[in-house]
Every structure is written in structure tokens, then in C-alpha cells.
Structure 1
Amino acid sequence: PLPNLNLTPLTPNRLCETAADVALNATPAGGSWSSNDPTAIVGGNNFSPGSASIVGNGDVIKLYYDYTDAATGCSNNDSIEALVDPKPTISLPTNAVYCRNQGEMSMPLTLPISATNNSSLIWIPTDIYGNRDRINAGAIDNIQGEGTITLALQNQKADTFRIGANAGGLASCSDVNGSFEIIINPIPDASITNSNPEDCNPVTTDLGVVIDNQIDPATATFSWNLGNGNNANGASNTVTYTDDGQANIALVITSDKGCDTTITSSVLINPIPVASFVPNPNNYTTAALPRFIFTNTSTVDPVNGSAIDQFDWDFGDLNASDDVSSEENPSHYYPTDTAEYCVNLKVTTNKGCSDEFNSCVVIGPDLIVFIPNAFTPNTSGPSQNEGFKAIISGEKAMELIVFNRWGEIMFITNDVNERWDGMFKGEPAQQDVYAYQLNVTALNDEVYNYTGTITLIR
């Protein structure tokens, strides 16, 4: 008779490819196992789901048992069935790192995903604190192959979010879970401190940084464009600007996470005016009319809208009640006494920048010239009439020349106190009428010329 075979069925007979090997049992023992999936039998009598090649799609794996009775030589065979389900798989993005500022924002992210083996992929969005309502993501069912998912981070500040995913396959396989993080690092939220944003040239200012969010200044880097052709590093710098105009400053702050921002500031360098004036008459007049008109000739570069709008005159006339003026082009009467007065003009712009100019004017005596018309170079007349000279007061220089009727120079002097004694080449000149030329330079350098005749009487 044929051997009576009793095979122990697999319970359950539907296994996940990740399941452990199962021992195959049959009575009587001593037979051999085989299969329509040869790789599914390992070790002679073990069924290995992980080694099976017939996986999924409802395909059945047949497990055959063949037995021969050694006593009778009769053989018999029987079989049992098994199904192997493929394990679910998911492929998730690596951690995604972004830079955002400290303020709230909505940030949609489209990320690649994949799921295989009839997996039902469910997204479980949470932040690191488990707050699911901070992230919107829909369920994605039956993902096959490659796909994408879009996450909307609603009104979030810089933070870290953990995104979980669950892939459920066929009933025999356990779900596969995975997660990744979305790391949102803050962009520096900062401002530049500027101790002196506007001043008169030169402008020295201390530049610094205030960071208003969680960026650590000790780990950040600072790259300055100082707006004057120079660059600098560090969180603070002291800078002196010497070119009139506006210096535009830019600072790039980069956190240790690589997030950066650019902030700006500026410095206004206002020009210094150049004070000057011209007196009329030009620095000199006489006591006869001790009045000067002062014409302002000050200038300023109109950079930054600069203009001179204030004039402060000091005429140096300490005894006068009107010694000062705020007019642009004033005039001033000085005392009739001869003196030198030093005039000071201070001009100030609408930006508060100023300069001063000082120049002196002179009140000199009136020029007085008296020229006699005759003299007697002997002892018979008054002693003061024994020589010929001009009586001059208020001069700076003089020259007296006496000629005879043939144009020959009889006498010449530049000394106001020297007189012609009527001698010529050591001999008394004859009684006659002689011509003279008198050139007088006044204290204001104006030259006066006088000509006439003088009679020598003996």
C-alpha cells in the first residue's frame, strides 16, 4: 500500500517576506521537500519567505513532500501552499534645512517621496513638540514609485519640524515608519547702530550691530562695506569719513548656520565753508572818511543741501556799540583816530558747520603836502628858509627831484627831512628859477605826483 502522509499546514500560510524561516513538518518523517520556487526551501526542510522569488500578486508557492517507504518500496507525495507578500518600503527626503527670518511666514515645501509594494503611505506631520496643527499635509494613499508631497508650514517662526510617514502594505506585513526633519534656521534680524550719522567734515562714528533674535553674535560673521572704499570685519568699527557727501554703509551678517542678511545705514558728511571777505576801500582809508564796506565772498560746496545762512561779524572796534553785525555785506564807521582794526567773519551753514576769516584794515592820517615856492640859502633870512624841502605828513614814501632850466638834476632825495641847500657839485647854484618833481606814496600805496617851480634867491 501507499504510505499515508500527513503534512502540517503553515499557519498562517500568508507570510511577509520579512518573516522568519518556518520549519516544514510531515509524517512519516524522512521524506524530502521541494517547491515550484526552489529558492524558498533552505536547509532541506525550512521554508524561507525572505529567499522566495515568487512574491506578491497573489501567486501561490507550492511546497511538495515526497516519501518512499523503505520496507515496501512504495512512494507517495503531497503538498501545502504558501503566499509571500512583499514588504512595504518608503523613501523619505533627507533633513531639509532652510533659512527664514524671525517673523512668521507661510512656507510651502515640495519634497520627493517614493513608496513600493502596494504601500498605503500616510504622512504624520508634527513639529518637535508634537503640535500637528502647525503643519498641513494630506494623506497620500497607494503611492507607487516616485511622487511628491507638498507641506505647508502655516505662519511659523524659525523652528525644527519632524515629519513622520507610515507605509502600510498587505496584511501579512507590518507597517514601515520613518521620519525626517525640516530645520528652519533664522536669518539674522539686526540693525546697525551709528553714533554719529551726520556731522561736519571730518565725521568720526562708531558703527555697531544689535541682533534682535536668537543669532549668537559670537558665532556670526560680519562683513562691512564702509561706503568710503574700505571694508571691515567684526561686530563694531570706528570710522572717520573725510569726503563731503553721503557714505552708504552695508553690512552682511552670516550666522553659523549659513543664513545671512544685509542691512544698511549711512553717514552724511557736511562740507566746511570757506570764510572770506573783501573790504572797500581795500584795507586802507584815512581819518577823513573812516568807513569800510565789507563784501562777503565766503563759499561752501552745496553737498547735502549745504548753504551759508549765518554771518557773524566782529569789526574789532572795541569802543563802538555797533561793533558786530549779522548782515551778509555790512558797512562800519570807525573812529577818526588813526589805528589798525582786525575784522573777523564767522560763517555758519544750515548744517551747523562754520569757518572764520580775519583781516585787518587801517585808518591812516590824511596826506598833507606843502611845497614852498622860494628859499634863500644864506644867513640873511629865516633859518627855516635856508633850504628847499616839501613839508609832508601821512606819507609812506617820497621822492623830491630839482632840475635846472636845461633839465639837469640839481638835487634828489628820498628823505622827507633832507633839504636842498642851493649847492651843486660843491658850488653855490646861481640865483634862478628851478623846476621840481615831488612823488609821494600815501599809506594806502596810492602815489601822488606834484610838479612846479622854486625860486632860489641870493
Structure 2
Amino acid sequence: SGLSAGTYSVTISDANGCQYLDTNVVITQPVSPLSIIGSSTDVSCKGGADGTAIANTTGGTAPYTYLWDPAAGGQTSQAATGLVTGTYNVTVTDSNGCNISNIVLVNEPALDLTHTTAVAHALCYGDMTATATVTPTGGVPAYTYLWDPATASQTTQTATGLGAGTYSVTIADSYGCTVEDTTLTISEPDSLNLDSLTLFSNDICIGESTQLYALYPGADSSFTIIWDNGLGAGLGPFTVSPTGTTTYTIAVGDACGNTIDKSTTVTVSQYPIISLDPNIATGCVPLTVDFENQTPNASDSLYTWSMGNGDTVTGGMPTYTFNSSGTYTITVVLTNTSNCTTTSSGQNEVVVNPLPTATCTADPAQTDIRTPVIYFSGGVDDLSYAWGFGDGDSSYAQNPAHTYPGVGSYDVTLNVVDSNNCQNSCDLTIIIDPYYDIVIPNAFTPNPNGPGTGAYDIEALDNDVFFGLTDYVEEYHMMIFNRWGELIFETFDILIGWDGYYRGKLSQQDVYAWKINVRYIDGKEIERLGDVTLIR
């Protein structure tokens, strides 16, 4: 063993000593040494796993066996397949057990296949003039293109004759790697829409100005926008001051020759007219005034009346009451349905005169029927006076005197009128009381001809009945007592007195005690005690 290639001699001896000599023993070797030349097929698309590594073997003694490293999955064929980019090691062994190792490099494209897009949108609504262009980068040129059926499946880098919509394209490089774009969107201008054209203006009052302008979404420099009435071009705003109601029209055209127009009217209204009497009203406090604008055809306007005292009222014909004296300048603001406003000017006045001062006093204000004369005073002002004394009588004197006919309470009224014919009044009450006293005689002479009924006549002179004389009685009680304190007479009727008889017999001449209690019609009560002499 351990011999190299060459020719050797060998002697063979057996057990008997016999020998054989061979001088042509030849040891051979492979024609060339075992070697590996690696080759590869690169990965088609960046990040893919379709690369191939091949061990091209020469020399040595066939057949050969192969073993790729774990990165290649330990494959045992001459060509390792399904590889990602990388460096792979392979060991080759020939039939003599000779082996050799080498590395094989599998590459991939340097860049991903990607692209950019450029779109030229449709110029007019409904046009088929748009284009879409894709520019690929990465991968391995050359590139092929396939657009979706909506483009008639065009195969060029730029798809033409497109309308509004969304398109897709697939790009493939020379290795068959592909990238797809499904969001290529083509837009187009909106069709001219009259509803989208909005005009703005305001109605005005004569002599005013207003701003006139339009809005149209999407209008750009390709649009033509023209107003009539000499306003010129553009959406505005324009300041206009028409002297009468005027209609303005705008025409809007796009780059494709389509045109729409729309109009707006600026209504010019007159200012309302106010006509008030300079001297609206004159009177006495409280003064109620009915206001009215004397201009016709203003009933549909909004009125605001300022009363000169901080108060305001509304309405075409308001009623207002002035509760304080003074001169009030009235201002009215009149706004018509066109919102044109006029404010009154000049001295439109309401004169409210104060009431005269009514002063009424009486002397006395309360007395009794014995002195029923009352003296009245109406003050010192230069006024017209009218007294009502409460008993049906009256007087036009400033300071009259009046005699009342009887007991009672009298409501007195004084009405005064000044030079402005303003009136005022005052009231007072006069009380005429009954005369609260009882007239009682101290002696009387009974009729000796027998007892009577006790009735008496206050005008009679015979003095044969003892009684108490008083007026305005509501309740009455009289009692007569003899010297022993015995009650010998009693009455509750003021019209019945004592006739001097007791139990049907004339009482003896003597002094008798009496007691009288009276309640008058006003509730006042008195009690009197005394004695009377019976004379026979």
C-alpha cells in the first residue's frame, strides 16, 4: 500500500519454495485531479426563492456524489434548487472516495420592481382624451405592460384615449417579475351645472349700493365668466347702485365651449314717508293719545314710536297714556317691507298739562245738629269751583258756607277747573251728630182724674206726665223709685212717660228718684240719675 502510480515487479513464493516473478504490475491514477466549477441561476425577483446553484465536476473518477450545506437544505443533487440569494457550499466525492469542496454564489436583482405614475386628466366632461403613463424601476429590464380591458388591453407604457375612471396595469420585467397598480384614477371636470352657480345680491333702498357676486365651485382660469349691464368679467364682487329695480345676468363658459347663465334681481325700494301733525295732542294728565301716521299705504310697515320719555311702542296706530305733565317730542321710526327705514324729523309734540290742585277744607268737619252750619274753603288758586255738599245742594263759590238739614254723614266733593280746562277734585266728609242730651223736668202735676196711658205731647203745657226729652234714640229705659227704693214705674218706650199713678192710684206728693239709660242711633250710650217732685 501507499504506492503511487507506476509499474512494479512482484515475486510470489509458495510453501514449497516455488516462486513466480511478475515484472509488469501497473498502478494507474485518474487522468486529471477532481475539481468543481460552480455556476448558478440567479433569483428572478428580489426577495424570491427560485435561484439554482450547480456543481460542474471534472477529473477524479466518476460517478460522483454531492452534498450541499444546510443553507441549501442539504440537497444531494448536482444542482441545488429553490434557493434565495446567498453563498452556498458543496462537497463532491468521486468513486475513489476523493472529495473536494467549493462555493457557489446565487444573486438576485438589486432593486424591487416598482413604478411611478403620471396622469393627464380629461379636459372636458365626457372626453376620452386622458392618458396614463407608468415608469418602472428596479427588476431586470426590459419591461412589458398590460393594461386592463377598459383600455382595450393596451400594451404600451402609456395608455391613451382614456375617459374618467379607475384603471389597472401590470408591469413585467425580463425575469417575469410583475407589479400591479389598480388605482390609476382619471378625473374629468364636472359638467356645467346651473344649480351649482349661486348668485348673491341684496335688495336696497333708493340711493344705496350693494355687493353683487357669484360662486361656482371649480371655476378656474379656463372658464369665461361675463356679466351684463357693463359689469365685466369674473365672479365679482361688484358694487352696484341701480336707481331702479334691475336684473343682472352672468354667463359661465368652460374650456370645452359649454355655457350656462343665471340672473338675479336687485329690487330698489323707496323710503317710507312719515307725516305727523306737529302739534299731535294737548290735554291734561293723564292724557291718552291715539297716534297715526297720516301717510297712506304705509299700513304694512313696522312702526316704532319713541314717546320722548324713554318709552317706546309699536304698531301703526298705537294708543299711549302720558301720566306725567310736560312737553314730549315724539319720534317715529318707520321700516317698510323692503327694510327701508325713515325717522321722523321736526317738533312733533304732545303737551300734557298738569292738573290743578284741588284743596278742600271744612270748619268744622264735625258738629251736632244744634249748629249745622259748615264753612268750606277751596284754597287760593284762580280756578273754577263746583261744590257738591252731599245733600243735593251745590255751590260755585270758592269758599261757601252751607247749612245741613239734619243729622248724618255727608260726602262733599269739590271739582276745580283751570284755564287749560284741566280738572281735579277732592273729597271730604261732614258729620252732623245728634245732640246727645236729655231734658228732664224737676217737677210735674199729674192729672187727678185718673191714670192715663203715659203718652205725652211735647208741645202740651199741662205738664201732667213725667218724661225725658231727647232725639235719635235707638234704645230707652226709664225707672221711677219712691223714697223707699221701690220701683213704681218702668218704661222702655221713649214715647211713654210716668203719669204719677202707681197701681191705679195717684201717688202722694213727694220727691221720687229716677234713672234713665239711652243708646243712640250711632251707638253712644248715656245714663242719667235724678229726682222729680210730684205736686198734687
Task: State the TM-score, normalizing by the size of structure 2.
Answer: 0.38
Pick the structure with greater CA Rg.
2
Q: Which protein, 1 or 2, shows the higher relative CO under an 8 Å CA cutoff with sep ≥ 6?
A: 1
TM-score, length of structure 1 as denominator length: 0.43
More strand per residue: 1
